[in-house]
Structure 1
């Protein structure tokens, strides 16, 4: 799976992640961003790829980063970093485990990962629990940035519930497969729960001159549309 920022750091894709990192930094000048959730409108839009590359990109600056897989239904983060997933976030919350027993180190300096752990019978209740809030507050006091991979907004209630516990939300939309109505519905749902939407990443946009897919994004304070093309 694609950790482009590691395998091809000089590529146009990697540069897009660096600009995304910079914009995220500037979005937190007036209101600090320590806990940021990445979600999508529907499954398969590449949110896990986006959050994994962004986590590596931020860690490369020397910031201490924790990547949390809170997609307790279809976890993917452990695959990117070649980790086991027999123990993770769901165990931490259900079994009151010490934090250090579920934190994984990675080959990337400054980057730690908490995988999802086994799929619980009640993911929404687990993510909306007081224990989840306490956990996020605890890790935000230890790490410079906590990035959270959440389930798609339109599929289940999990992302809407989590949005109340974080400082901001990034919505990932895939250009080639996401219906406009689905993207609008996701944005409206997040607004209903008063989520702070930091921006939208438009994923897998085809270049005019060669058919190469890369990451292209809309990102801006107060949802102003900002276009970056390489």
Structure 2
């Protein structure tokens, strides 16, 4: 698993996976911030149940996959049965993060002609109790068609009955059109914002695009906030266009 800090770069997470601080330093302040995010999401599920949760960002390299993976870990650590799906079919990362094969995955399910697929053949059970990982699988030439297909919707409806929480790592919404289509199938979506990187106009446009599909936007996670001894942190909030990024 990817447990240690690496230099920043637009391909670092793709090549080496996201940093799982919730496993590397489970008692540290950053892991506690991820548990706070988990708690906030749980509170928002009281009146409107959130079983299909997705994370996206405006653009690449804003920490989306890191936050998705760590939130999934904290939910599994809390005793929920979690399925983590890599639906970023352009820049998949979860197979690197959890060190599993990407030869089969979500695209295998969506392109299969079989009426039934044994989930044990494609879902990987991680060393984290209660956490299962579905990697993206081979990158297809038509990701938008696959993610917007009836088969994708049926797949999500089926797996949600077997897990307490299905968490989806989606592609950045301003760069990939299929994210907007998939977002509409989720019970809730969280937008990842990177401090001093994500522009306000990009946040506003992302929210506009999500609202077009009547997506339930739960809030945003502020990533890479420069605080504390570790040098950075995370925060959860509401109200778009009111953050401090440039």
Q: Shared fold (TM-score greater than 0.5)? A: yes
Structure 1 residues 48-197: aligned runs within 5 Å: 48-95=65-112, 96=114, 97-197=117-217
* Structure 1 equivalent of residue 39 of structure 2: 22
Q: Kindly indicate whether the alpha-carbon contact (under 8 Å) linking 1:67 and 1:148 is maintained by their aligned counterparts in 2.
A: yes
Closer, same or farther in 2 for the Cα pair 1:88/1:211, shift >3 Å? closer
Matched residue of 2:218: which SS? strand
TM-aligned CA deviation for residue 225 of structure 1 = 10
Closer, same or farther in 2 for the Cα pair 1:225/1:56, shift >3 Å? farther
TM-aligned CA deviation for residue 218 of structure 1 = 1.4
TM-score normalized with structure 2 length: 0.87
Matched residue of 2:132: which SS? strand
TM-aligned CA deviation for residue 98 of structure 1 = 2.9
* Structure 1 equivalent of residue 232 of structure 2: 213
| RMSD over equivalenced CA pairs, Å | 1.8
Matched residue of 2:56: which SS? strand
TM-score normalized with structure 1 length: 0.92
Per-residue CA distance 1:167-201 (angstroms, 9 max, x = gap): 01000010121111111111111111111000100
Q: Kindly indicate whether the alpha-carbon contact (under 8 Å) linking 2:204 and 2:241 is maintained by their aligned counterparts in 1.
A: no
The ranges of structure 1 where at least 4 consecutive aligned residues each deviate by more than 6 angstroms after the TM superposition are: 224-227
Structure 1's unaligned 5+ residue stretches are none
* Structure 1 equivalent of residue 13 of structure 2: none
TM-aligned CA deviation for residue 224 of structure 1 = 8.4
Structure 2's unaligned 5+ residue stretches are 1-17
